[in-house]
Amino acid sequence: MAGTLFFDGNCGMCTRAVYFILKRNRTGDLRTATLQGKGVAERLGIPRSRVLDAARWHDESGDVYEGAEAVNAAVSAALGTRVPLVLYRTPGIRALQNAVYRYVASHRYRFPGTTPYCESHPVSC
C-alpha cells in the first residue's frame, strides 16, 4: 500500500504530524509532498480551489483518499499493516474521526506545531 501523503506545507501542526508519521515509517512505502507543490491539483484530480481543504493520500493504484481516511492510509503504509484503515472503516469510528479531522483541519493554524515545511524547504512549495 505504498503512496504519497499530501499535506499543507504552510501549517506547522501539519508538518509536525507528518514528521511524527515519517519517524514510524518501517516500510519505506510512505512518501510525502506538500499540497502547495506544482501540479498537485491535476495529479490528484481535484479543483485547485479545493487543494488545501484536506490532506490527501494518493496510492500506487491511483486511488485518492482525503481527510481522516488519508491519514489512516498513510499510517497503514508506514506501519505495514492495514489495521488503521480497517478501524477507520468501522461504523461509528469513521464518523468520529471525520468530525475530529474536520474540526482540527479548520483550526489547524491555531494549534502548536513546528516550523512549517514550506518555510524550511521553499523550493518544494
- Encode pLDDT of 42-82 as tens digits: 999 999 999 999 999 999 999 999 999 999 999 999 999 99
Q: Assess contact for 95 and 102: CB atoms under 8 A.
A: no
Q: What is the DSSP letter of 110?
A: G
The pLDDT value recorded for residue 1 is: 82
Residue 65 host element (H or E): strand 64-66
The overall pTM is greater than 0.85: yes
In angstroms, the CA 55 to CA 81 distance is 20
Summarize the confidence of residues 74-101 as an average pLDDT: 96
- Give the confidence band of 22 by pLDDT, cuts at 50, 70, 90: very high
Q: What is the pLDDT of residue 124?
A: 86
Residue 80 has a CB neighbour count (10 Å cut-off) of 14
Q: What is the CA radius of gyration of the chain?
A: 14
Q: Give the residue from 61, 63, 59, 41 showing the smallest Cα distance to 51.
A: 41
Name the pLDDT band for 12 (thresholds 50, 70, 90). Answer: very high
